[in-house]
Chain A
Amino acid sequence: MKTPDDVLREAQELRWQLPQNLHDRITESIYGEAARIAGRSITRSGGSRRLAWQQKLDRLLTNPWTAFPIMVGVLGAILWVTIVGANLPSALLSSLLVDQGRAVLSGWLVAAGAPEWLRGLLADGMYLATAWVISVMLPPMMIFFPCFTLLEDFGFLPRVAFNLDRIFQKVGAHGKQALTMAMGLGCNAAGVVATRIIDSPRERIIAILTNNFSLCNGRWPTQILMASVFIGTLAPKGWGGLIAALSVLVVALLGFGLAMLTSWMLARTVLRGEATTFSLELPPYRPPNFWKTLYTSLIDRTLIVLWRAVVFALPAGAAIWLCARIPVGGQSLAAWFIHATDPFAWSMGLTGVILLAYIVAIPANEIVVPTILMLTVLVTGASGGHGAGVMFESDNESVRAILAAGGWTTLTAVCLMLFSLCHNPCSTTLYTIYRETRSVKWTVVSALLPLAVGFALCAAVAAVWRCVG
């Protein structure tokens, strides 16, 4: 009876009797046969007009001098359209859901004879967090996702990867990391799974560890809101949207820069090795199927992401409310944490409220801004100039008013934007990283690495800002 060992040994021995270039000869004979068959059945009649048009476009999109401005310009344009377009529906939704909806719900609860704590828990905790998540997230997502999907269908992404390949190669990473980072712009968990297209384990780990520097859909709304509320308002009238879009663009590009920097550091230290070469097909441009894309990106992407946010917002809302209401030695639980971490947070230009919000939001980044708003109102008593009690109007003006009452400055907003770019991935992404790498070590590194970068970056910016300002 033979064993697997015997079979391998026999194969090994037989290999010596075969030509050395066996692999090449087999490949050759397959290619030869393919060419023969193609020659017999396929005819081409001259160059078509469409091909010429595509070649012209490709020349523009793959020439480094024109490609980079176009790529950055396209991303900037999408952001601008998102920011300007989301303004009005955001205000409408928040007045509908946050103000009127909460009032109606409170009214019902009073009529039903609910005790005060239950009214607070349901209306001020769970309902409010959910309503805020929807009004903050839904409008920008409804614009951003379809735009991105249309570009994907058109064939833009492989060109981006093609252009960035040289940079990736220089830092010692895989060119296909550009594609996984682009997927990360939607969701980092999806981006991490997408790294399966990278066949070198070393380069795959680099791609996984740095994917978090791609802003995901849970963080775009944070960026967009902070930029519109604090940075757009610094600009002269009429320029607010453009300036806000530019500042988000800068953060997104900074994320790319940080991904390159950390990739480079990893490739020089713990993940040393040669960059492998690969071939990337540039697919033909295909006109996107506009309505179908719109439908699928709205139903499959926007609603699923929104649903996930709502599922996490409901318990988080309850938790926040309880944290802010349960007294421990004269102060609420939340107040203890916030006061204890305030000095540390101050050194990074942040506040204790923001740090607590990030801990609450580990399951889902989407709820950071709503959590910050609720904590600010519940704990510090700030209410945007509407007197005592919980009073919300979350269009941009009143968001600004609430946060300003919580002691916020432009520096706080800038540091929050930076910290939102660089902090630990959400729990879903962390779990995905563990599943893909099967390594506790790399999962821990993937959580701590961006966090360390975030702390350092925010502290540096805060220090410089305070010295200069």
Chain B
Amino acid sequence: MNPSELHDPGAGCAVCPSRFSQLRKLGLRVEASDHVIALAGNPNTGKTTVFNALTGLRMHTGNWPGKTISRAEGGFSYQGKRYKMVDLPGTYSLLSASPDEEVARTFLLFGQPDVTVIVADSTCMDRNLNLILQVLQITRRAVLCLNLMDEAKAHGIAIDVRNLARDLGVPVVPCAARSGEGIPELIREIATMADRTDSPAPRRLPLEVPGLGLALDRVEAGLHEVFPHLPQPRWVALRLLEGDREIMDAVLSGDIGALAETHGAYPNHGKES
């Protein structure tokens, strides 16, 4: 395991000004970026608040699930590198899809962001972990942001950050985005993850279903033959085996190949995973 995965930002760094001063909020100026960062998570966990804190934009936030319905883009620069942030609508799972959730799911799967920041609500982690595990199935270039830590504390909830990071295999950063607490650490972890040259394997869930592994291998091989550049062929294979209508139609019409091209148009990155 890579040592940076075990990193636990100490509370002392929370308000470290020297880190924060290296951040330049670029707002909407995101034309040429070195890295693409996606913000994903359950609805109403504060993704847009994190997005605003990083980019200096003022997208509308609201305390209800479903406030963000299409993706928003913004940027920041840190230590001389430019990052493009993509704020996605909240989604409970990658298995279902209403039109707003579809936006999130398509981008995460085929947009090939360099880093996916999963924003979670610390007050109800058990519910959030379902999506976290699903996202980690398709990428490990992820950073988990435990948002609303202040509220979790007020509710008497304690989270062993180090333990959680070890279990999930990705860096975990506790935050309170509304007051800006933990944002400097989050930026540092995003930058570290974006600069990593090794490509960690996606976390595989122990899917204890007899015969599933073999079936997945065969469909995946078939997909690879038809769409050689398709990212996440294993996930698409799983959806086909489950009979997901939308994905089946996309495969049949060849749209799934097009999706991968329009959303994955970042020539320098992403293809290695």
Q: Which residues of A contact B (CB under 8 A)?
A: 1-8, 10-11, 14-15, 17-19, 22-23, 25-27, 29-31, 33-35, 37-38, 40-48, 50-51, 149, 152-155, 157-158, 161, 176, 179, 193-194, 196-199, 204, 280-281, 283-286, 289, 296, 299-300
Contact = CB atoms under 8 A, between A and B. Distances in A.
The DSSP consensus for interface residues of chain A is helix
B129 A37 contact: yes
Contacts of A15: 215, 241, 243
B97 A41 contact: no
B149 interface: no
B64 A4 contact: no
A179 B251 contact: no
Contacts of A299: 58
Contacts of A7: 219, 222-223, 226, 240, 251
A284 B161 CA distance: 23
A4 B123 contact: no
A227 to B, nearest CB: 28
Given A6-B222, A7-B223, A152-B62, 11 more contacts: A4-B252, A7-B226, A14-B215, A41-B160, A153-B62, A154-B63, A158-B65, A193-B70, A197-B99, A281-B43, A296-B60
Most buried by B among A14, A17, A45: A14
A299 B226 CA distance: 51
Contact of A42 (B58, B66, B160): B160
B206 interface: yes
A37 B168 contact: yes
B44 A14 contact: no
Contact of A40 (B64, B161, B163, B215): B163
Contacts of A158: 63-65
Contacts of B97: 199
Contacts of B215: 14-15, 17-18
Contacts of A27: 95
A254 to B, nearest CB: 25
Nearest to B227: A4
B130 interface: yes
Interface string B213-257: 001001100110110000000000110111100001001111000
A180 to B, nearest CB: 9
A444 B116 CA distance: 42
A277 to B, nearest CB: 13
Nearest to B222: A7
B156 interface: yes
B195 interface: no
A22 B242 CA distance: 7
B99 A51 contact: no
7 contacts: A7-B222, A7-B223, A18-B211, A26-B209, A152-B62, A153-B62, A158-B63
Nearest to A285: B63
A318 to B, nearest CB: 33
B43 to A, nearest CB: 7
A-B pairs with the 4 shortest C-beta distances? A199-B98, A34-B129, A197-B66, A11-B240
Given A18-B211, A27-B95, A45 B156 contact: yes
B212 to A, nearest CB: 6
A25 B157 contact: no
B198 interface: no
A18 B241 contact: yes
A37 B127 CA distance: 11
A284 B148 CA distance: 11
A42 B254 CA distance: 44
B61 to A, nearest CB: 7
A154 to B, nearest CB: 6
Interface string B111-140: 000000000000101100110111000000
Interface of B: 43-44, 58, 60-66, 69-70, 95-101, 123, 125-126, 129-130, 132-134, 151, 154-161, 163-164, 167-168, 178, 205-212, 215, 218-219, 222-223, 225-226, 237-238, 240-243, 248, 251-254
A23 B156 contact: no
A17 B211 contact: yes
Given A7-B219, A37-B168, A41-B163, A48 B66 contact: no
A23 B58 CA distance: 40
Contacts of B43: 281
Contacts of B98: 196-199
B143 to A, nearest CB: 17
Contacts of A19: 209-210
B63 A29 contact: no
B66 A194 contact: yes
Contacts of B243: 15
Contact of A4 (B61, B69, B161, B251): B251
B195 to A, nearest CB: 27
Nearest to B216: A14
B62 A44 contact: no
A193 B69 contact: yes
Nearest to A278: B98
Nearest to B163: A41
B157 A44 contact: yes
Contacts of B223: 7
Contacts of B212: 18, 22
A23 B254 CA distance: 25
A47 B212 CA distance: 43
A299 B70 CA distance: 22
Contacts of A283: 44, 63-65
Nearest to B214: A14
Given A10-B222, A157-B62, A38 B125 contact: yes
B90 to A, nearest CB: 10
A217 to B, nearest CB: 14
Given A18-B209, A18-B241, A42 B159 contact: yes
Nearest to A5: B252
Contacts of A1: 225
B167 A10 contact: no
A43 B163 CA distance: 12
A37 B129 CA distance: 8
B238 to A, nearest CB: 8
Nearest to B161: A41
A296 B59 CA distance: 9
Contacts of B251: 4, 7-8
Given A34-B133, A155-B64, A29 B252 contact: no
Contacts of A196: 69-70, 98-100
Given A26-B209, A29-B207, A300-B58, A286 B63 contact: yes
